[in-house]
A and B are shown apart, each in its own frame.
Chain A
């Protein structure tokens, strides 16, 4: 009996770790409406849980940058991240990317879009100086890094806070689109996948907005595991995801997830992100990703 009590005490003293956790906690960044996003990811979580033999819980992060903090605090075992947060996590916390989805249009990448209202008359970034811009988050590729990269390409060296009259961070890509649609901002930045989703859902997007810039492709939101995640389990998780399209059940889940399959992802896939950040003037290892 004494042995059992001692074991329980020692067990409670250890911090949360993979070996001792009773569930797999996967973090989600708020790339769209948090409720809609959760609904979209939940079938995938159930599938992984059934295959892995343990409960899977999604933890919604209020901001992109929170993912780094969460990994650091070991509140997450894994996370579906955006390409920039992925790059940040790889760089800062040494997390390991394992797989990413291939969308229905056979793409496994996305790119950043910059859009304005059609009735604004703005045609290029040069027209946007002194205007109000809606970023998504400083820790997003399409919602922040891409427009900065495009500004640099257009020869604008000023920090955005100086170049634009007002800078807002909507937190999610659809919120950025809504901000421009509603006149809250004059220009907005978002990833093409969410823009397409919103355009399909809300006809005002096609009717009232126009694109004035887009960047090169970067890997779409991928699943990465924490640095202390067991390798064997990481491989198993990767195999589950990559083998999803081989079973009818997996295909059904993929369909609701709006993807065709999962493919392997490595750190090398994030090279374009690193390059884009570099060109955008962002030093990842010291980057302050908190919106201010």
Chain B
């Protein structure tokens, strides 16, 4: 294409230049012709002026010696002017034939001047003067003829030169017009050809670009035709392919970014969920700690009341009127103990001991109870895992948990409904349990689901809080789900609730599946035996005076030798000084505390005193197991004095 455009412009240039050169030559010739024409024009003018001048002199001659004659000076000047014109003509022409004519003209003038001079200076002789005048006139006429001959030649030549010049000008005009017309035609032809040659490929490229713009990335155009367009097509196709690749890469990157964003969102949601859980857990933990502390203090107080009541029960007559009131005190103290026990359960300070049990078995037992106790308009479904759902827990705690949940479900279905109890083994990934020590690859999922009224989100967020209840005043303690929560956590499990108003409620409880080694480590059911008191020296260490007093009194009444201490340090000193068979040690003493005291005592030389731990706090399994390595028994306050006595007895009997 480039070559064609170049050739088109080159041909235009050549035509233009050649036309210009030819025109220039003709213009130069025409100009020269015009100059010659001007010269000829001057010559023609001069010849006419010469004729006129001769006529003037002739006129002077005719009018001489008449009243209108000019003076001699004027006549002489006219003659000299005439002669000057001839000399001027003479100086311009060099052609021989012309020179001859001018020579003749000059000779004529010389003779004319002589005759004129004779005539103008003649006087007195009239015939002579007339003759001289005629001679001069004739010479003037002869000169005139010669001048007119030359003038005629000049005119002829003038006409020739004029025609030649006009001819040249005509040629110039023709050549210029021809050049312009030819240039125009070639220009139009070249423009049409080049435009056609450009438009077809441009159309292809325009269509290709439109397709790419409409999203058809990777669209290619045929690589053919002229070199430039072929090259352009190759680059175009390359560009299109690169656009396609870049677009795909971008889409891939976008997908990855979206995935990453989704993952991050999910992670964020999970984090938020965990944060919510953590906050909730901490809140419940704080409440648990508080309620545990309160329970401990209450237990001590209840223990004093319980102890004193037990002493009174021993000391007053069986028919005493006070016995009725004493019974009320003992019952109330017992109820108070139940209440604090629940609080301790919520704060995971459960009293019971964990052991390996089959949740399916316990669920079957509870199913039977529920069938008997729940209204008949509630259908109870039981779906148990095909394999034993072994967990490490206190069976009584699990039973309490199941009953609490079933009762809540019943309350959520006042018009009847369906209660579904199920267990299944799930993979550890689904367990939502983290950091379960010694946990297996699987966990047990216990689901308790109803299709009752359900809860809104606000309610759902508060269900595990102690003393939160939706029931009427007096209809519930608000501790059921709190205790459940505490128990599940105490057994290393996790509970979650899914509910919506009108859609029922499902509680999912994950327990770590108990493995064999754990099962072995945990105690099996114990069989307690009661024997008679064998006597012994018992140290009661407790900072609560009432407890010490009541316990000492009953032990002394039972034949035991009793020593008391109010701090751990005091207890250790006593143990070091005297022989002590058994020490009833309160964990919550001021000073070094019960645990440190127990550690110190355990390091004493034999015979070491046996130990019973009393506590108003709850203990987790780990703490309990740790203490039981050094002590015979743990008594949860408030305990009955009978229970205390049997614990003392049992410990002293133990080898």
A interface, CB within 8 angstroms of B: 30, 33-36, 38, 58-63, 137, 166-172, 175, 178, 184, 291-292
Q: Does B125 reach chain A (CB closer than 8 Å)?
A: yes
> Which of B114-122, B363-371, B385-393 lies at the binding interface?
B114-122
Q: CB distance B113 to A35 under 8 Å? A: yes
B40-82 at interface with A (beta carbon < 8 Å): 72-73, 76, 79-80
Q: CB distance B121 to A171 under 8 Å? A: yes
| Beyond A34-B72, A36-B117, A168-B125, 19 additional pairs, beta carbon < 8 A | A30-B117, A30-B121, A34-B121, A35-B113, A35-B116, A35-B117, A60-B72, A60-B76, A62-B72, A62-B123, A63-B121, A137-B123, A171-B121, A171-B122, A171-B123, A172-B118, A172-B121, A175-B118, A175-B122
Q: CB distance B125 to A62 under 8 Å? A: no
State the interface size on chain B (CB cutoff 8 A).
Answer: 17
**What 6 A-B pairs are tightest by C-beta distance, nearest first?**
A171-B121, A291-B124, A169-B124, A33-B117, A291-B123, A168-B125
User: B123 to chain A: which residues have CB within 8 Å?
Assistant: 62-63, 137, 169, 171, 291
A62 touching B121 in the complex, CB below 8 Å, given contacts A33-B114, A38-B76: yes
Closest chain A residue, CB of each to CB of B118 = A175
Distance between Cα atoms of A38 and B118 in the complex (Å): 15
Tell me if B's interface is mostly helix, strand, loop or mixed. helix
User: A168 to chain B: which residues have CB within 8 Å?
Assistant: 124-125, 128
User: A34 to chain B: which residues have CB within 8 Å?
Assistant: 72, 76, 116-117, 120-121
Q: CB distance B73 to A178 under 8 Å? A: no
Q: CB distance A169 to B122 under 8 Å? A: yes
Q: 27 interchain pairs (CB within 8 A)?
A: A30-B117, A33-B117, A34-B72, A34-B76, A35-B79, A35-B116, A58-B73, A59-B72, A59-B73, A60-B73, A60-B76, A62-B72, A62-B120, A62-B121, A63-B123, A137-B123, A167-B124, A168-B128, A169-B122, A169-B123, A169-B124, A170-B121, A171-B121, A172-B121, A175-B121, A291-B123, A292-B124
B99-137 at interface with A (beta carbon < 8 Å): 113-114, 116-118, 120-125, 128
User: B125 to chain A: which residues have CB within 8 Å?
Assistant: 166-169
User: B113 to chain A: which residues have CB within 8 Å?
Assistant: 33, 35
User: A63 to chain B: which residues have CB within 8 Å?
Assistant: 121, 123
A33 CB → nearest B CB, Å: 4
A69 CB → nearest B CB, Å: 12
Distance between Cα atoms of A36 and B116 in the complex (Å): 12
User: B124 to chain A: which residues have CB within 8 Å?
Assistant: 167-169, 291-292
Partner of A172, one of B80, B117, B128: B117
User: A166 to chain B: which residues have CB within 8 Å?
Assistant: 125
B87 CB → nearest A CB, Å: 13
User: A171 to chain B: which residues have CB within 8 Å?
Assistant: 118, 120-123
User: A172 to chain B: which residues have CB within 8 Å?
Assistant: 117-118, 121
Closest chain B residue, CB of each to CB of A168 = B125
Distance between Cα atoms of A33 and B114 in the complex (Å): 7
Closest chain B residue, CB of each to CB of A170 = B122
User: A30 to chain B: which residues have CB within 8 Å?
Assistant: 117, 120-121
Most buried by B among A30, A35, A166, A175: A35
Distance between Cα atoms of A166 and B125 in the complex (Å): 9
Closest chain A residue, CB of each to CB of B123 = A291
Distance between Cα atoms of A70 and B632 in the complex (Å): 190
User: B80 to chain A: which residues have CB within 8 Å?
Assistant: 35, 38
Distance between Cα atoms of A137 and B123 in the complex (Å): 8
Most buried by B among A36, A167, A175: A175
Q: CB distance B118 to A61 under 8 Å? A: no
Closest chain A residue, CB of each to CB of B79 = A35
Distance between Cα atoms of A38 and B120 in the complex (Å): 14
B113 CB → nearest A CB, Å: 5
A37 CB → nearest B CB, Å: 9
Distance between Cα atoms of A137 and B116 in the complex (Å): 17
User: A61 to chain B: which residues have CB within 8 Å?
Assistant: 72
Distance between Cα atoms of A167 and B123 in the complex (Å): 11
Distance between Cα atoms of A61 and B120 in the complex (Å): 10
B457 CB → nearest A CB, Å: 124
A286 CB → nearest B CB, Å: 19
User: A137 to chain B: which residues have CB within 8 Å?
Assistant: 123
Distance between Cα atoms of A270 and B188 in the complex (Å): 101
User: A36 to chain B: which residues have CB within 8 Å?
Assistant: 117
A168 CB → nearest B CB, Å: 4
A41 CB → nearest B CB, Å: 12
Closest chain B residue, CB of each to CB of A66 = B72
User: B114 to chain A: which residues have CB within 8 Å?
Assistant: 33
User: B72 to chain A: which residues have CB within 8 Å?
Assistant: 34, 59-62
A175 CB → nearest B CB, Å: 5
Distance between Cα atoms of A88 and B76 in the complex (Å): 26
Partner of A178, one of B79, B116, B118, B128: B118
Distance between Cα atoms of A100 and B124 in the complex (Å): 30
Distance between Cα atoms of A178 and B117 in the complex (Å): 12
Distance between Cα atoms of A60 and B72 in the complex (Å): 6
Closest chain B residue, CB of each to CB of A57 = B73
A170 touching B118 in the complex, CB below 8 Å, given contacts A34-B72, A35-B76, A62-B72: yes
User: A292 to chain B: which residues have CB within 8 Å?
Assistant: 124
Closest chain B residue, CB of each to CB of A171 = B121
Give per-residue flags for B252-291: 1 if the beta carbon is below 8 A from chain A beta carbons, else 0. Answer: 0000000000000000000000000000000000000000
Distance between Cα atoms of A166 and B124 in the complex (Å): 11
User: A169 to chain B: which residues have CB within 8 Å?
Assistant: 122-125
Distance between Cα atoms of A178 and B80 in the complex (Å): 23
Most buried by A among B114, B121, B125: B121
Closest chain A residue, CB of each to CB of B131 = A184
B138 CB → nearest A CB, Å: 16
Give per-residue flags for B399-427: 1 if the beta carbon is below 8 A from chain A beta carbons, else 0. Answer: 00000000000000000000000000000
A142 CB → nearest B CB, Å: 15
User: B79 to chain A: which residues have CB within 8 Å?
Assistant: 35
Distance between Cα atoms of A30 and B123 in the complex (Å): 12
Distance between Cα atoms of A171 and B80 in the complex (Å): 20
Distance between Cα atoms of A38 and B73 in the complex (Å): 10
Distance between Cα atoms of A168 and B123 in the complex (Å): 8
Distance between Cα atoms of A7 and B123 in the complex (Å): 44
Closest chain A residue, CB of each to CB of B124 = A291
User: B128 to chain A: which residues have CB within 8 Å?
Assistant: 168, 184
User: A178 to chain B: which residues have CB within 8 Å?
Assistant: 118
Distance between Cα atoms of A250 and B122 in the complex (Å): 34
B21 CB → nearest A CB, Å: 54
Most buried by A among B79, B116, B123: B123
Most buried by B among A167, A171, A291: A171
Distance between Cα atoms of A61 and B123 in the complex (Å): 13
A172 CB → nearest B CB, Å: 5
Distance between Cα atoms of A242 and B516 in the complex (Å): 173
B134 CB → nearest A CB, Å: 14
B78 CB → nearest A CB, Å: 12
B64 CB → nearest A CB, Å: 9
Closest chain A residue, CB of each to CB of B120 = A62
Distance between Cα atoms of A59 and B79 in the complex (Å): 15
A34 CB → nearest B CB, Å: 5
B120 CB → nearest A CB, Å: 5
Distance between Cα atoms of A166 and B118 in the complex (Å): 18
User: B118 to chain A: which residues have CB within 8 Å?
Assistant: 170-172, 175, 178
User: B116 to chain A: which residues have CB within 8 Å?
Assistant: 34-35
User: A167 to chain B: which residues have CB within 8 Å?
Assistant: 124-125
Distance between Cα atoms of A129 and B563 in the complex (Å): 226
B633 CB → nearest A CB, Å: 161
B234 CB → nearest A CB, Å: 95
Closest chain B residue, CB of each to CB of A61 = B72
Distance between Cα atoms of A62 and B74 in the complex (Å): 12
Distance between Cα atoms of A30 and B76 in the complex (Å): 12
User: A62 to chain B: which residues have CB within 8 Å?
Assistant: 72, 120-121, 123
User: B117 to chain A: which residues have CB within 8 Å?
Assistant: 30, 33-36, 172, 175
A197 CB → nearest B CB, Å: 14
B65 CB → nearest A CB, Å: 9
Closest chain A residue, CB of each to CB of B65 = A62
